[in-house]
Amino acid sequence: MIDLWLFGIFAKFSVILFGGGYMIVPILMQTFVDEKHLLSLEAFGNLISVTQMIPGAISLNAAAYLGFMENGITGALSATFGLIIPTIFLGLIAGKLMDKWKNTTIFKGIMRGARLAALGMVIYACFIFMDMSICTAPVPWEKIGESILAQKWLINNDFRIRPVELAVAVVACFGMLKLKIPLTMLIIYAGICGAVIGKLIPIL
C-alpha cells in the first residue's frame, strides 16, 4: 500500500515539473517534512545535498532515496517509476503533437508561467536551505510581520546567522557564478572545508 502511495504521489509531482532542476525541492519539502514529518528539515537538506553528488537528475535521485527510506527497494522502485511513467506518456504524446502545438498561445503561456513559477520556487528553495544551514532557526516571518505592524523592534534570541556557513555559501555562490566550478566539485570542497574546520575549532 505504501508503494502505491509512493507511486501516486511521485506521479503527481512528475506531471507538474516544468522548470526542471530544483523545482522539486519545495514540493518534496512540503510533502515529506511539513506534512508527513518523515524527516527533519536538516535531514532533508542532507538528502538533497547527497542527491547532488550523485550523477543523475535531482528528482530521480530524490525519488529513489525517499522511496527507499519509506519502504526499502520496492519503495524506491515505486517512487522512481511513479516519476518516470507519466513522463513517458507525456513524452510520447508530445512528440506527436509538438509541431501543431509549438506556436499556440496556450503552450507559450504555459511555458512562460512555468518559468516564473520555477523562479519563485528556486527563491523559496533558497530560503528553505538558508533556514537549515546559515540561520539557526527558520526565518521568523511572523515575528517580522508583527514587529512591522506593532511598530516594535522584536529581537528573537533563537535566530542568529552562522558566520562560517554564510562564508561557505557566499564562496559557493561566487564559485558557481563567476568561476563556473562544477557542482560536484563545489560540494566536495565544501565537505573538505567542513571536516578541516571541524578539526580546527577545538584547537582555536
Partner 1 sequence: MSYPYRLWLLFFTFFKIALIVIGGGLAMLTAIEETFSKKYTFLKHEDILDLVILTQTVPGLIAVNAALFVGNKVAGLAGALIAVFGVVLPALMIITVIASFFPNLDFQDKTVIHIFSAVRACVTGVLIATAISFIRTNIRTKWDIVFVIIFTILLLAHISPIVVILASVPIGCILVHRSKKKPLTVFTSSETAHLHERNNHD
Q: Segment 100-129, which members bind partner 1 (CB under 8 A)?
A: 102, 105-127, 129
Percent helix, percent strand, percent coil in the chain, to nearest 5? 75, 0, 20
Rounded to whole angstroms, the Cα distance separating 90 from 171 reads 40
- Does position 78 interact with partner 1 (CB under 8 A)? The reply is no
Least distance in angstroms from the C-beta of 154 to partner 1: 18
Residue 8 binds partner 1 (CB under 8 A): no
Residue 16 sits in the site that holds partner 1 (CB under 8 A): yes
Largest CA distance in the chain: 67
Residues 161-200 that bind partner 1 (CB under 8 A): 162, 164-166, 168-177, 182-184, 186-187, 189-191, 193-195, 197-199
Interface with partner 1, residue 39, by CB under 8 A: no
Residue 90 binding partner 1, by CB under 8 A: yes
Q: Applying CB under 8 A, which of residues 1, 92, 149, 155 lies at the interface with partner 1?
A: 92
Whole-angstrom Cα distance, residue 191 to residue 29?
23
Name which position in 12, 74, 140, 147 contacts partner 1 (CB under 8 A): 12
- What does DSSP assign to residue 161? B
Pick the closer one to partner 1 by CB: 95 or 153.
95
- Number of residues this chain uses to bind partner 1 (CB under 8 A): 105
d(CA 159, CA 131): 10
Q: Among residues 130 and 159, whose Cβ is nearest to partner 1?
A: 130
- Report if residue 144 touches partner 1, rule: CB under 8 A: no
The residue within the footprint of partner 1, chosen from 91, 144, 146, 161 (CB under 8 A), is 91
Rounded to whole angstroms, the Cα distance separating 100 from 156 reads: 56
What does the DSSP assignment read for 73-96? HHHHHHHHHHHHHHHHHHHHHHHH
Nearest 5°: CA angle at 28, between 22 and 32? 155
Minimum distance, C-beta of residue 157 to partner 1, in the bound complex (Å):
21
φ/ψ of 135, rounded to 5, equals -95, 155
- Position 6 contacts partner 1 (CB under 8 A): no
